[in-house]
Structure formats: C-alpha cells, structure tokens
C-alpha cells in the first residue's frame, strides 16, 4: 500500500524529464489519493527494485563474467564447485562408458577428478588410447578453467571499493539568510595515519528526482531530474568527514519547501561520488539515495571529530557513531 504523498505541480520542462521512464498511475492515484513512489527509504522504492528484463537481444552467456564478479562469495563458491563437479562427472562418464577404461564408475570419477585437478597419484591411469585422449582433453580444459577461476578470484579481491560512508539522512538547516540542504560524508578507513588512505580528487554530484505533473493543463505524472548545485562539490582529498551544502535560494528546485510540505513530498535525492583511492590508485565510486522521509528539518549534524587528552598528549578522535547524529539548529 502506497502512503499518501504530494506530487508537485509542473516546475521543470521536458528538458528535465528522465526520458524513457514512464510513471504509471497507481491504484491510490486512481482513487484520488496520490501514491508514494519513493517509500520510507529511497532504496526501497522502484529505483532499487530488481528489474525484470524482457526480450534482451544480448546473449546471457556474455554477462557470465559480470555475474561471477558481482555475486556473493557463497554463490561464487557454489558456482565454482558446480562447474568443477559437472566437468568431472562428464569426463567420468566418458572414461567409464565410452572408453571402457575402468571397471567401476567410482574409479572413473576418481580418475577424472585427478586429471581435472592435475593431482595424479599414479594409482589410477588410462589403460587405452581413448582414455589417454580423454585425459589430454580434460587436462587442457582444466588448465583453462582453473586459470579463469584464479583470475576471477583475483578480480573479486582487487575490485575497488569506496571507503566513503554517508549519513542515514540529509538535513535542511538555516544557512545565513537562506536554508540549505546538507549531506554528511566521511572516509571510514581504519588507517590511523591522518595523512594516508585518503580519497583523492573526490567529486560529488547530487541529483533531485521528483514526480511532477507534466504541465498546468496535463495532470499526468512524469519523473524529472534536477542537478543540485553544491557550494563545494570537488575536494582534493577526503580523509575525515565533510558536509555537502546546497543553498536553497530562488534558483533551487527545492525553493519554497517547508517543514509541513516536506513530509508529504514525493522525491528522492541521489548522491554520487567518484574519486581515487590513495593506496591502490584505483578509481572508486559511491552512491546514496534519500527519500523525502529521510530529510530532517531544523536540525544540524553533531560534530563527529574531536580532540581529547591532556596538553601534549592530544588524540584526534573520529566517532562514526555520530555520523548521522543531529542536534537542534539555532
């Protein structure tokens, strides 16, 4: 059941529309109550749902490497064991039924496994020409398969992963004479050296995705996307926490929002990060999605970095328990 939400009147134009995405009316909309497209968290909305792909012209086997790199370690291990067992069983059938090289199938399976794993204890060996040819073929295939498995394991271990963490909510607080949307990001590395393991050349981009009416005369809903300009979006290095600030002035797509309209609004804020890991020199990426229900009004983030200790023995402390902690804004 979609909770009630306010869909904005037309603000942008067709240039801001997310082309190729159709917003269909929900059952709540048909009853006159606007359904919420972005739920409690933006990740539970349709943006993070599993996509059902129909009539894809690309063959499934071409994405097998992508699948094996990105699935969980448990699933990856099952895939490796399954492929190995399948090849071993197929050649065991060849040894026993085609080449008639073994007296019992158990010996054929053991011979096939020893050939595939290149162990070769010497107790089992092919006794005829057909068995020798099958063993040569299996040894060639195992050389390729084991090399591919080793490469996949290496890629999975070496795949760049961002150490950036985002606050669980973004906030709207007073900023001079205006309001500002603030998002906190921190580098969650476990390195104790403040001059090492930074995210270099970090660049952030923040988008507002909002369900709006097409125009003043057309009440159908469209998904429009706006770039939210940050006061500072590029950083030479991110070692501790930073705050991304978007000034809500007349040029902002969020201009006019209030604490009352915020809770009933239907939009999502997407934050993208691209940077370079200082240790591996690999490009890293990070992303966070916020719904309107994850935007807090009239608060500010509590300081998470502090210096403690006696004079001459000060310690720099970074408390990630306060990453999303807020206090009332003055």
Q: CATH no. for residue 143?
A: 1.10.287.70
pLDDT tens digits for the chain (330 residues)? 334 555 565 566 667 776 766 666 554 444 444 566 776 665 555 555 556 677 889 888 889 899 999 999 999 999 999 999 999 999 999 999 999 999 999 999 999 999 998 887 778 889 999 999 999 999 999 999 999 999 999 999 988 888 999 999 999 999 988 999 999 999 999 888 878 889 999 999 999 998 887 766 666 778 889 999 999 999 999 999 999 999 999 999 999 888 888 877 888 999 999 999 998 899 999 999 998 889 999 999 999 988 887 777 778 889 999 999 999 988
Contact 39, 294 (CB under 8 A): no
> Which of 126, 158, 190 is at the close of a domain?
158
Residues 131 and 268 in one domain: no
Residues 166 and 257 in one domain: yes
* Nearest-10 crossing angle of helices 129-158, 73-93: 170
Reduce the DSSP state of residue 244 to 3 states and report it.
strand
> Which of 116, 138, 158 is at the close of a domain?
158
> Which of 130, 158, 186 is at the close of a domain?
158
Instruction: Give residue 40's pLDDT.
Output: 60
Helix and strand totals (H; E) in the chain: 6, 14
Instruction: Give residue 32's pLDDT.
Output: 45
Residues 153 and 203 in one domain: no
Structural domains of the chain, count: 2
Provide the sign of the torsion angle of the four alpha carbons 320, 323, 324, 327, taken in this order.
Answer: positive
- Give the count of beta carbons closer than 10 Å to the beta carbon of residue 78: 12
Indicate whether 45 belongs to any domain.
Answer: no
Indicate whether 129 belongs to any domain.
Answer: yes
Residues 152 and 195 in one domain: no
Contact 7, 212 (CB under 8 A): yes
Residues 148 and 189 in one domain: no
Among candidates 154, 203, 204, 187, which has minimal Cα distance to 279? 187
Indicate whether 78 belongs to any domain.
Answer: yes
Indicate whether 44 belongs to any domain.
Answer: no
Q: Please give the residue range of the domain that contains residue 142.
A: 62-158
Among candidates 234, 236, 248, 239, which has minimal Cα distance to 295? 248
List beta partners, residue 299: 328
């Amino acid at each position: 059941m979609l909770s009630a939400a306010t869909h904005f009147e037309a603000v942008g134009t067709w240039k801001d529309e997310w082309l190729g995405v159709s917003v269909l009316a929900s059952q709540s909309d048909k009853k006159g109550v606007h359904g919420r497209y972005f739920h409690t968290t933006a990740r539970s909305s349709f943006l993070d749902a599993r996509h059902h792909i129909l009539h894809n012209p690309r063959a499934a086997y071409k994405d097998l490497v992508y699948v094996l790199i990105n699935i969980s370690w448990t699933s990856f291990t099952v895939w490796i064991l399954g492929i190995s067992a399948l090849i071993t069983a197929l050649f065991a059938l060849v040894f026993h039924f085609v080449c008639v090289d073994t007296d019992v199938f158990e010996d054929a399976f053991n011979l096939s496994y020893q050939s595939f794993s290149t162990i070769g204890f010497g107790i089992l060996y092919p006794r005829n020409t057909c068995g020798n040819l099958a063993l040569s073929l299996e040894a060639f295939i195992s050389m390729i398969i084991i090399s591919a498995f080793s490469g996949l394991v290496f890629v999975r271990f070496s795949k760049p992963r961002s150490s950036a963490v985002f606050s669980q909510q973004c906030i709207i607080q007073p900023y001079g004479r205006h309001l500002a949307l603030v998002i906190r990001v921190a580098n969650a590395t476990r390195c104790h050296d403040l001059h090492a393991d930074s995210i270099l050349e970090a660049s952030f981009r923040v988008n507002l995705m909002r369900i709006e009416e097409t125009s003043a005369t057309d009440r159908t809903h469209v998904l429009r996307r706006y770039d939210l300009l940050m006061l500072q979006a590029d950083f030479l290095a991110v070692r501790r926490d930073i705050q991304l600030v978007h000034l809500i002035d007349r040029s902002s797509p969020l201009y006019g929002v209030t604490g009352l309209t915020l809770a009933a609004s239907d939009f999502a804020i997407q934050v993208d990060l691209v940077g370079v890991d200082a240790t591996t020199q690999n490009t890293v990426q990070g992303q966070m999605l916020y719904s309107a229900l994850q935007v807090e009004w009239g608060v500010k983030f509590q300081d998470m970095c502090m210096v403690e200790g006696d004079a001459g023995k000060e310690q720099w402390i970074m408390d990630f328990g306060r990453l999303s902690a807020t206090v009332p804004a003055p």
